[in-house]
Amino acid sequence: MTEMVFGATPVRAGDPILPRWWRTLDKWSLAAVLGLFAMGLLLGLAASVPLAEKNHLPRFYYVQRQAIFGSLAIAVMLVISMLPPRQIRRIGVLGFVVSFALILALPVIGTDFGKGATRWLSLGFVSVQPSEFLKPGFVALCAWFLAAAQAVGGPPGRAYSFATAVSVVMLLALQPDFGQASLVLFSWLVMYFTAGAPMILLMGVAGMAVAGGVFAYGASDHFARRINGFLNPEVDPTTQLGYATNAIMEGRYFGVGVGEGTVKWSLPDAHTDFIIAVAAEEYGLVMVLAIIALYCTVVVRSLLRLLKERDPFTRIAGAGLACAFGVQALINMGVAVRLLPAKGMTLPFVSYGGSSVIASGIALGMLLALTRTRPQNEMAEILRRGR
């Protein structure tokens, strides 16, 4: 009778780890992530071939590397998704400290690979972008601060989280990496709002961000070029945005056909920043809508499950991770259709990139872990705090 009224308890005492994990996991979100990874490999078969031929490598060299990086990311995601929130917090904080230290060292040991921004560490056989790994750690650390601030007699967590956000945003802007800086700031605003911040304060922070953008426009030629190119009503057809815009228009509803697209031969970043243009040209609007639907599935289902969560850290961190994941995809696709200035941001689990896909695996593993059903702990946690 109890199960008919309240629902079956998803976790039973003495359950093995794997059956308990599978029973409490959001399987729709997991399926959506696997679908995105599969689409990324499919698009990589077309988008990465021109680059491989240009670099005198086997035709499917980058697809094979993406399969390796993606498989590692999926494995990391599944392992992390089995952890409890306390372990997620510890891993996130440790990851933030390491990533932050590496970003501080980038001016000395980093490289820009000719792209005008020092964002990478070159290890010879592979390059690492520390800012990609910083994001999930940043969310976990700030969520811990904000959750601690809600406890009676707790520390000034809101002030700590604000100081952390400002430090990270300024550090990323100095690279310059305004895309990642804006994503970090957005995730902090989401978490601050979830923790119960007044709207007037959020509007003040947004105003500061706009003021910072105006300052960056005058102080950074790199930033100014991106904004000027976005504001220019005429798109140069020989630029990356020009090629991408033309490819999207050529694709129409069902695309020009598998392997028949031409944009991949013109765009140097067709397999990374502009892979959605390849999808639109060869598979049409249908493929683009399918990709958007998969991202929406992960974000919406995660937020709906978090609405039932009573633990502050889980709720705040989960909201930050879900919204950061969705907004990164939105920024990437928005740049391709010229709704946003060029930012050099990958499409999670679809674009080629070792750092990007593995960092996305870590973030999604944390999100899947935080959105697992744990009703048997909710009331016990409340009673324990009330003592």
The DSSP secondary structure of 4-28, one letter per residue, reads HHH---S--TT--HHHHHHHHS-HH
* Per-residue pLDDT tens over the stretch 259-316: 788 888 877 777 888 899 999 999 999 999 999 999 999 999 999 999 988 899 999 9
Whether pLDDT at 11 is above 60: no
Question: What mean pLDDT is reported for the chain?
Answer: 84
pTM of the complete model? 0.87
Q: Are 81 and 372 in contact (CB under 8 A)?
A: yes
173, 98, 12, 146: which is closest to 359 by C-alpha? 98
**Domains in the chain: boundaries:** 15-378
* Per-residue pLDDT tens over the stretch 146-200: 999 988 888 999 999 999 999 999 998 888 788 889 899 999 999 999 998 777 7
Measured distance CA(102)–CA(112) in Å, rounded? 15
| Torsion on CA atoms 263, 265, 271, 275, rounded to nearest 10 | 0
